[in-house]
Amino acid sequence: DAGVIQSPRHEVTEMGQEVTLRCKPISGHNSLFWYRQTMMRGLELLIYFNNNVPIDDSGMPEDRFSAKMPNASFSTLKIQPSEPRDSAVYFCASTRQGKNTEAFFGQGTRLTVV
Amino acid sequence: GEDVEQSLFLSVREGDSSVINCTYTDSSSTYLYWYKQEPGAGLQLLTYIFSNMDMKQDQRLTVLLNKKDKHLSLRIADTQTGDSAIYFCAESPLYSGAGSYQLTFGKGTKLSVIP
């Protein structure tokens, strides 16, 4: 398996533009997580899905952020409109629920909003 | 809610032992994890411990769990420059089947190894 795949790896956009981050979880994994990492706040959980259903989105900072998981092999995190303070590395992770809940992370998308 | 705390920085000399500490608040934590993040990469699982254990050893890594104090530590013996990274402590409850599953991470400890 190729692991969790995120795209793009890097994104530079202007303030006010819409940004869409993409994630393909590991096949067979039924939980998917979106995290944001910054120097100031560390790793923050934004939202997670179980079996494509959003379970907890309390970490989503504002209404400008939205996430979808239309099927078991694809998820998006959208920011509209983007702001400079959204600049961070966004990670997607997936797990298979079971005795050992190891989370496998993607390489992350480094977002810069100028 | 659940909370996981770690110190932010640790510096050690090459060849010494490193000890990274973590405290957590959720008494229902069943699994406790250590993840490693190298520069420009995602997090990778290093090791984990089940809550009914108090120690786990894996080559140069030793995990100690004090469940009463909710304290977890990671000891790296003979620390090498390649161990320089950010180390994250994480905890999760046993999945309940009710959609309440969540993995909670600390903010990470940046380990710097001085040659």
Instruction: Give the pLDDT confidence of B32-88 residue by residue, as tens digits.
Output: 899 999 988 889 999 988 888 899 999 999 999 999 999 999 999 999 999 999 999
pLDDT at position B52: 85
Q: Is B52 exposed, middle or buried (0-12, 13-18, 19+ CB in 10 A)?
A: exposed
Q: Is B88 on the interface with A (CB under 8 A)?
A: yes
Structure tokens at A31: 């939980």
Q: Is B87 on the interface with A (CB under 8 A)?
A: no
* Minimum Cα–Cα distance from A5: chain B residue: B42
The rounded mean pLDDT for chain A is: 91
Sequence-ordered list of residues with C-beta below 8 angstroms from that of A44, at least 6 positions apart, any chain: A35, A36, A37, A38, A59
Name the strand (E) or helix (H) holding A94. Answer: strand A88-95
pLDDT per residue over A39-73, tens digit each?
888 888 899 898 899 988 888 988 999 999 999 99
> Which residues of A fall within a CB distance of 8 Å from B45?
102-104
CB contact under 8 A, B102 and A56: yes
Q: Within 10 A of A10 (CB to CB), how many other CB atoms are there?
A: 10
Residue of A45, A101, A108 lying closest to B42 (CB–CB): A108
pLDDT at position A109: 96
User: Which of A10-19, A36-45, A52-61, B95-104 has the lowest average pLDDT?
Assistant: B95-104
- Shortest Cα distance from B113 to chain A (angstroms)? 20
pLDDT at position B98: 42
* Minimum Cα–Cα distance from A48: chain B residue: B102
Alpha-carbon gap, residue B87 to B19, rounded angstroms: 11
Q: For residue B100, name the pLDDT band (cuts at 50, 70, 90).
A: very low
- CB-CB contact of A74 with A105 (8 Å): no
> Which residues of A fall within a CB distance of 8 Å from B99?
50, 53, 55
Q: For residue B92, name the pLDDT band (cuts at 50, 70, 90).
A: confident
Q: Is B33 on the interface with A (CB under 8 A)?
A: yes
